[in-house]
Amino acid sequence: MIDLRLNHRQGDFHLKVNLSLPAVGITGLIGRSGSGKSTLFSCLAGHLKPRQGCISLSGRPLFNSTLGLNVPPAQRRIGVVFQDGLLFPHMSVERNLAYGSQNRGTVFWHEVIEALDLTHLLNARPLRLSGGERQRVAIARSLMAEPELLLLDEPVSALDPALKARTLDLIAKVQRQTQIPMIYISHAPEEIRRLCHQVVTLQNGQVRSVTEGEAHGVGPTLAAVGKVTCAR
Ligand SMILES: Nc1ncnc2c1ncn2[C@@H]1O[C@H](COP(=O)(O)OP(=O)(O)OP(=O)(O)O)[C@@H](O)[C@H]1O
């Protein structure tokens, strides 16, 4: 489970979230601009310290304000991919993937490369890749660290519709292949409902709803792994 009990204020904005989600499949995190998606994301990744609350991942405490616990981002085993997945421009795709990874040549390595359709790009330099290809490499690179959770912050928002659809299909494929749970942030609900097993909607810093996505039933069901709860 991904357990989040957060109480955080920044300026006039108040994030107040009490949420337990199964750490399986892809969870969409949607909401209008300013609803608090990036703030929640940053708290989970460890880039932002909430004023109050606790966060745990599969029972492993990451943050607890009462105990003064705040696990640094690098030790959270949470991968992060942003809109402009940054790569090392002077290294080939293969060297980008291998950077900091213990997986080179393993079954997992080949599975990720195959699922994200990167085999023919391994010798290329990032500068000659399309936006969609660069994002796929950035996702693959994060997955090579075998995180317990991968956070994706609008990774396809800069792509044209056809490339967006293809990239989303490949994200779904690599998630099924690796079984690494993902949280996918978007302000465009139509973009991700098809992709997601469950969708959390934020409104003014609070959880408005938790619903099943269209991928629900394709992978493990929510009922099989525990009930989704949210308190407002
Ligand atoms: N450092 C900060 N200090 C004060 N207020 C902030 C700070 N960072 C963000 N905010 C405010 O917190 C609120 C939530 O911002 P956040 O970036 O989490 O929203 P979001 O849902 O990710 O929006 P978007 O879809 O536009 O990225 C906004 O009202 C924003 O102006």
CB atoms within 10 A of CB 123: 9
Please report the domains of the chain, with CATH numbers, ordered by start residue: 2-231 (3.40.50.300)
Q: If residue 96 lies in a helix (H) or strand (E), which one and from where to where?
A: helix 93-98
CA distance 21 to 13: 24
In angstroms, the CA 14 to CA 30 distance is: 17
Contacts of 53 (CB under 8 A, 6+ apart): 4, 5, 6, 7, 8, 63, 65
The ligand 1 atom at the shortest distance from the C-alpha of residue 34 is: 19
pLDDT, tens digit, for every residue of 57-90?
A: 999 999 999 999 999 999 999 999 988 778 899 9
Kindly indicate the confidence band of residue 227, based on its pLDDT and cuts at 50, 70 and 90. Answer: very low
Q: What is the ipTM of this complex?
A: 0.94
In this structure, which residue's CA is closest to atom 12 in ligand 1?
13
Which of 35, 40, 47, 208 is the best mutation target for the ligand 1 pocket, counting ligand atoms within 8 Å of the beta carbon and taking the most? 35
Instruction: List pLDDT tens digits, range 119-161.
Output: 999 999 999 998 889 989 999 999 999 999 999 998 888 778 8
Q: Note whether 70 and 45 are within 8 A (CB).
A: no
Mean pLDDT of all residues in 181-194: 86
**By C-alpha distance, which of 211, 212, 225, 60 is closest to 149?**
60
- Ligand 1 atom closest to residue 41's alpha carbon, by position in its atom list: 18
- Give 62: exposed, middle or buried? Use CB within 10 Å, 0-12, 13-18, 19+: buried
Confidence of residue 221 (pLDDT cuts 50, 70, 90): very low
Task: Tell which one of 10, 82, 202 to mutate to probe ligand 1, the residue whose CB is within 8 A of the most ligand atoms.
Answer: 10
Mean pLDDT across the chain: 88
pLDDT-based confidence at residue 229 (cuts at 50, 70, 90): very low
The separation between CA 131 and the C-alpha centre of its own chain, rounded to angstroms, equals 19
Residue nearest to atom 25 of ligand 1 (CA): 33
d(CA 141, CA 35): 29
Whether the CB of 188 sits within 6 Å of ligand 1: no
